[in-house]
Amino acid sequence: MEKIFQDLEPYSVPSYSNWFSWSNIHEVERFSLREFFDGSSITRSPRIYKEYRDFIISKYREDPSRKLTFTEVRKSLVGDISILHKVFTFLEKWGLINFDVKSDKEADNCNGNCKPISVGGEEEEEGWRGRVKVEEGAPYGVRVVAAPNSMKPVATLPPPPSVRADGGRGVGEVGENGFKWPPLASYSDVFGDSVQQEKKKVLACGSCKENCDSSHYEYTKEGSFILCEKCFKSGNYEKNKLADDFKLINSGDQSVVWTEAETLLLLESVLKHGDDWDLVAQDVQTKSKLDCISKLMELPFGDLMFGSANRKSKFLDVTGDESNFKQAQLHFNESQESAKVEDPSHGLKDEGQQNGYADTQGQPLKRIRTEPTSNTSYSLMNQVARISTAVGPHVTASAAEAAVTALCYENQCSREIFDEDDNYADLKASAENIEQKRAAQGNLLDGDERPKQSEIQGPSSHKDTIQINLRMRAATATALGAAAAHAKCLADQEEREMEHLMATMIEAQLKKLKRKMKYFDDLELIMEKENAHIEELEESLVADRLNVLQRIFDAGISRWRDHASVKSQTGSVQ
């Protein structure tokens, strides 16, 4: 064998493959194709491998200029086709076959990394191109109507070379029953775009063979001959073609410009047909399916159209709700602002109350639900407001009503403030309105009524607010006053009772004293009388003595001789 080889030119083998020798099996081979060397099967052995290898390389070297295909060799080899292929690719990878074969892509591959040639659509085509003569300049294929209904031409597969350009109906065939099959969606969906794009990109001018950039002239008679602008202007056509026969086609013209009518048509048909792009493309006759879809995506709300058939009603509802909510928000903000504007205009005793009120009105804005606190550090108004937010609006309204009536009944001056008919009604309505506004914050769905009511209340809210403030304050003051008066009454009564009791006590004492005094007076009288009496006695006694003495005298009594006798006399007197 080596003799034969000496006569011929040396075959070129890449330098990284110089381990190869006919007589040996190298480590590289053992490593890459180890299934031959591990004895796993009778179908694979080193001997068998060597036979495969030698045959393939020899076959290649029969004509090194042409690319050896696997198919050519595999018919001559016995063995599992997969393993044969493995050997083949191994040899090709190492450049032992098909090295330096023409076909630019392969040469690049081999010179560079020398991977096994990957199969891809483009490479396939180019490899094929190297083999088959291609009609000059024209993009492949004839425009073919794919299905009976569709107006749009489908980019068909290029006709096989043996079939002339008239044929190649491609996929859209008429079956026996006159039924035309549309192209399989998979292929045309996937590859149709890329082929079309290729077509667009690779528009080569017929005469100068350069790519036509933006616009080109198409030969109307034949339909597949194009010239770039330059050639057209320079008159560089083929012989038989006249200038008139060329039509100007601006590429990229159709797909960009969407007139309003087309857009309108598109939207209508999407709403009608939903996802069925074929029907949509039919309706919008001048635009292809892809154009429709891409245009729809560009439109600001176009995304919502996808699947719009289902979501149509929901979509409208959502927008309606949103607009209502925004309206409600707006009105509330307006009235809130107006309230805040008026507040500083009132001169108030208690600033704290006012701020508290404004705060609570503001608070429902920030937080949808406020927790009523029993924190007594807040002012009364604050507390009332909080409690009113905790209970429902109607409860609060009726409570306010009842309080007002009670106050009117009790106190005259408060009636002066409250007892005007329209004001009263306004108060009730506006009280309700306030409650409703607060409730609206927590409950967004009743958008319809609120805006209307708040609109009506809008102009009158200014006036109402003043009166409301005054009334609220008056009511509070009255309440406090009543309480104070009552307390005083009670106190007075207590005092009087105390005095009364004191008086009674004093009287009693006085009486006692008087009686005692009277008693003593009586005693005095008695004593005086006795005293008088006793004096009388005394006098009588004295008188008597005198009498006696007198008598004695008169009796001339002898002398005092007889003391005994005298004594006896006196004694007897006694």
Q: Which residue of 171, 249, 477, 557 would you call a contact of another protein, by CB under 8 A?
A: 171
- The two tokens of residue 565 are 């006798």
DSSP string covering 382-431, please?
HHHHHHHHHS-HHHHHHHHHHHHHHHHHH-HHHHHHH--HHHHHHHHHHH
Our CB check for another protein shows the closer of 184 and 243 to be 184
Under rule CB under 8 A, how many of the chain's residues touch another protein? 58
The overall longest dimension of the chain from CA atoms, in Å, is 238
Closest approach of another protein to the CB of residue 138, in Å: 16
Distance (Å, rounded) from C-alpha 215 to C-alpha 44? 61
Window contacting another protein (CB under 8 A); options: 78-86, 212-220, 370-378, 433-441? 78-86
Q: Which residue of 177, 374, 375, 572 would you call a contact of another protein, by CB under 8 A?
A: 177
Q: Which helix (DSSP H) or strand (DSSP E) does residue 70 occupy? A: helix 70-74
Q: Is position 81 an interface residue for another protein (rule: CB under 8 A)?
A: yes
Q: Which residue of 35, 126, 222, 229 would you call a contact of another protein, by CB under 8 A?
A: 35
Closest approach of another protein to the CB of residue 159, in Å: 9
Q: Which residue of 10, 112, 175, 459 would you call a contact of another protein, by CB under 8 A?
A: 175
- The two tokens of residue 344 are 């500083």
Residues 36-75 that bind another protein (CB under 8 A): 38-45, 47-48, 51-52, 55, 69-72, 74-75
Our CB check for another protein shows the closer of 74 and 230 to be 74
Distance (Å, rounded) from C-alpha 366 to C-alpha 358? 13
The 3-state secondary structure of 529-554, one letter per residue: HHHHHHHHHHHHHHHHHHHHHHHHHH
Q: Is position 1 an interface residue for another protein (rule: CB under 8 A)?
A: no
Closest approach of another protein to the CB of residue 246, in Å: 30
Q: Which residue of 187, 277, 306, 315 would you call a contact of another protein, by CB under 8 A?
A: 187
Q: Is position 199 an interface residue for another protein (rule: CB under 8 A)?
A: no
Identify the residue whose tokens are 């060397």: 37
Our CB check for another protein shows the closer of 51 and 229 to be 51
Window contacting another protein (CB under 8 A); options: 161-169, 290-298, 460-468, 513-521? 161-169
Closest approach of another protein to the CB of residue 231, in Å: 30
Q: Is position 186 an interface residue for another protein (rule: CB under 8 A)?
A: yes
β-pairing, 215-219 vs 226-228, is antiparallel
Our CB check for another protein shows the closer of 310 and 333 to be 310
The 3-state secondary structure of 94-145, one letter per residue: CCCCCCCCCCHHHHHHHHCCCCCCCCCHHHHHHHHHHHCCCCCCCCCCCCEE
Closest approach of another protein to the CB of residue 171, in Å: 7
φ, ψ dihedrals at 351, nearest 5°: -65, -35
Residues 450-489 that bind another protein (CB under 8 A): none
Closest approach of another protein to the CB of residue 154, in Å: 13
Closest approach of another protein to the CB of residue 20, in Å: 19
Q: Which residue of 102, 167, 220, 501 would you call a contact of another protein, by CB under 8 A?
A: 167
Could you tell me which residues come within 8 angstroms of residue 220 by beta carbon, excluding any fewer than 6 positions away?
245, 246, 247
Q: How many residues does the chain have?
A: 574
Residues 96-135 that bind another protein (CB under 8 A): 119, 124-125, 127-128, 131-132
Q: Is position 509 an interface residue for another protein (rule: CB under 8 A)?
A: no
Q: Which residue of 13, 101, 145, 147 would you call a contact of another protein, by CB under 8 A?
A: 147
Window contacting another protein (CB under 8 A); options: 34-42, 103-111, 298-306, 475-483? 34-42
φ, ψ dihedrals at 566, nearest 5°: -65, -50
364 Cα distance to chain centroid: 20
- The two tokens of residue 97 are 């076959």
Q: CA nearest 461: which of 329, 361, 331, 335?
A: 335
Closest approach of another protein to the CB of residue 22, in Å: 15
Our CB check for another protein shows the closer of 202 and 485 to be 202
- The two tokens of residue 497 are 């009772």
Closest approach of another protein to the CB of residue 281, in Å: 14
- The two tokens of residue 134 are 């291609």
Q: Is 537 exposed, middle or buried (0-12, 13-18, 19+ CB in 10 A)?
A: exposed
List C-alpha distances in Å: 82 to 11, 70, 86: 28, 11, 6
Closest approach of another protein to the CB of residue 127, in Å: 7
Distance (Å, rounded) from C-alpha 302 to C-alpha 103? 47
Closest approach of another protein to the CB of residue 324, in Å: 39
Applying CB under 8 A, the residues found at the interface with another protein are 34-35, 38-45, 47-48, 51-52, 55, 69-72, 74-83, 85, 119, 124-125, 127-128, 131-132, 147, 149, 157-158, 160, 162-163, 167, 169, 171, 175-177, 179, 181-182, 184-187, 191
